[in-house]
């Protein structure tokens, strides 16, 4: 068994009723071996001193320690310790070229009166349950934005916005994703087969081939206006307007899909350091993660899960992007079409883009940082100035040549 050192604990996105906790565990070789970012809420029933049953709800805090976390070749354990003797851990094992989460163990100390007031017991209770995290491909991150509630006799645990890689190879977090089934787009109902078989004849004349129809060019996607609020009574914490098209390459096949804002639902979270926008339509689910370093924000991650025309489900993403950068308190804007290579298999095209994931005030965009393609106000004067300068140089050269010819003519006379 190897010894492991916890080297980093970062606070993730924040939204009521839970904060996102992001942790990284490194081994004795100082390389990342386990990464996790997730939200967990607990609902615990316990017996109070007055013989009544009490129920409390609380969240997994951000100020956790990772004592007991470990990484081995075929098994890993993520253990989050918090408060006065509470802990939450998840055990992972390798199954061939896949890995899975075998169990979650939640231990809570009833002697902690700040969480369990008037508890009749002072013991520490442990509950072990099995999550639905299976068949995760090696060298991929498991991603699940949807909520999963795991119920036990006295404890309910709700997990969501989960991003985990239990076995990190070469110390580098993978850009590839294994997406949970709950996040996959709902397949469209299959139309009944109404094809009528043609009658059999003895004719030897071959039937004419159907005319080939070229793949139609997609129209420019409609611009969606997506607003995220912590709750119904709050002002917006994230604004995003854009038209989106994704390009997907599968072997020799390439397909493009437009995001239709008319059938798209919006969810996500807003935090001090990280915000997330999740868009779900009838053809795809797109997740954007924005990072804030207190001075500038940027698009840090993008993940797409889409149902292709062939019926296959495609899922891919990148968690180390640096796009749409602007100062915190402003927005990023680019009206021109932009093409981004997200991964080798995934491209993104945006139209009429404006986003502000932090510092939104009064439900409106702040002053925009424009992309270079839009910044023609500066570009045109530069071009005109350069042309005028070139013209002046030509005139001066012509004047000098003319003077020399005149001078030579005088000397000949």
3-state SS string over the chain? CCCEEEEEEEEEEEECCEEEEEEEEEECCCCEEEEEEEEEEEEEEEEECCCCEEEEEEECCCCCECCCCEECCCEEEEEEEECCCEEEEEEEEEECCEEEEEEEEEEEECCCCCCCCCECCCCEEEEEECCCCCCEECCCEEEECCCEEEECCCEEEEEEEEEEECCCCCCCCCCCEEECHHHCCCCCCCCCCCCCCCCCCCCCCCCCCCCCCCCCCCCCCCCEEEEECCCCCCCCCEEEEEEEEEEEEECCEEEEEECCHHHCEEEEECCCCEEEEEEECCCEEEEEEEEECCCEEEEEEEEEEEECCCCCEEEEEECCCCEEEEEECEEEEECCCEEEECCCCEEEEEEEEEEECCCCECCECCCEEECCCCCHHHHHHHHHHHHHHHHHHHHHHHHHHHHHHHHHHHHHC
Along the chain (413 residues), what's the average pLDDT of each consecutive run of 10 residues? 37 39 87 92 90 89 92 92 95 92 94 92 92 89 89 88 91 87 67 49 43 61 94 90 95 92 93 92 94 91 91 89 93 93 92 96 93 59 68 78 61 51
Query: 65: number of CA atoms within 13 Å, CB side?
Result: 9
Radius of gyration of the chain (CA): 30
Q: What is the largest CA-CA distance in the chain?
A: 127
Q: What is the pLDDT of residue 206?
A: 46
User: The whole model's pTM is what?
Assistant: 0.50
Q: What is the pLDDT of residue 285?
A: 94
User: What is the Cα–Cα distance from 275 to 157, expressed in whole angstroms?
Assistant: 23
Q: Are 81 and 67 in contact (CB under 8 A)?
A: yes
Of the candidates 343, 280, 266, 17, which has an alpha carbon nearest to the alpha carbon of residue 160? 17
| Domains in the chain: ranges and CATH | 4-181 (2.40.160.110), 224-370 (2.40.160.110)
Q: Are 47 and 125 in contact (CB under 8 A)?
A: no
């Amino acid at each position: 068994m190897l010894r492991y050192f916890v080297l980093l604990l970062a606070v993730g996105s924040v939204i009521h009723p839970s904060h996102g906790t992001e942790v990284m565990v490194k081994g004795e070789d100082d390389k990342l071996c386990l990464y996790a970012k997730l939200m967990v809420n607990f609902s615990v029933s316990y017996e109070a001193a007055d013989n009544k049953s009490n129920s409390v709800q609380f969240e997994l805090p951000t100020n956790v320690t990772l004592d007991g976390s470990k990484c081995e070749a075929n098994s890993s354990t993520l253990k989050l310790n918090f408060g006065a003797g509470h802990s939450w851990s998840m055990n992972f094992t390798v199954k061939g070229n896949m890995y899975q989460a075998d169990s979650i163990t939640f231990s809570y100390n009833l002697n902690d009166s700040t969480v369990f007031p008037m508890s009749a017991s002072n013991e520490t209770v442990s509950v072990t349950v099995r999550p639905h995290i299976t068949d995760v491909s090696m060298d991929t991150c498991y991603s699940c934005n949807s909520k999963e509630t795991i119920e036990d006799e006295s404890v309910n645990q709700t997990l969501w916005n989960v991003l985990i890689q239990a076995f990190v190879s070469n110390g580098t977090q993978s850009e590839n994703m294994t997406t949970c089934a709950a996040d996959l787009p709902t397949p469209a109902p299959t139309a009944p087969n109404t094809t009528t078989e043609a009658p059999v004849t003895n004719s030897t004349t071959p039937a004419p081939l159907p005319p080939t129809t070229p793949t139609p060019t997609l129209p420019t996607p409609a611009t969606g206006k997506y607003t995220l609020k912590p709750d119904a009574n709050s002002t917006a914490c994230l604004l995003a307007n854009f038209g989106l098209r994704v390009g997907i390459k599968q072997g020799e096949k390439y397909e493009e899909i437009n995001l239709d804002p008319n059938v798209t639902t919006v969810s996500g979270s807003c935090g001090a350091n990280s915000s997330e926008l999740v868009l779900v339509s009838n053809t795809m689910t797109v997740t954007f993660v924005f990072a804030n370093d207190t001075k500038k924000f940027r698009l840090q991650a993008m993940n797409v899960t889409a149902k292709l025309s062939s019926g296959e489900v495609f899922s891919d993403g990148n968690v180390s992007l640096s796009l749409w950068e602007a100062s915190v308190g402003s927005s990023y804007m680019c009206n021109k079409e932009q093409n981004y290579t997200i991964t080798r298999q995934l491209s993104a095209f945006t139209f009429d883009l404006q986003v502000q994931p932090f510092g939104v005030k009064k439900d409106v965009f702040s002053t925009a940082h424009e992309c270079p393609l839009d910044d023609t106000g500066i570009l045109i004067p530069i071009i005109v100035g350069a042309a005028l300068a070139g013209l002046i140089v030509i005139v001066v050269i012509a004047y000098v040549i003319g003077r020399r010819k005149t001078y030579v003519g005088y000397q000949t006379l």
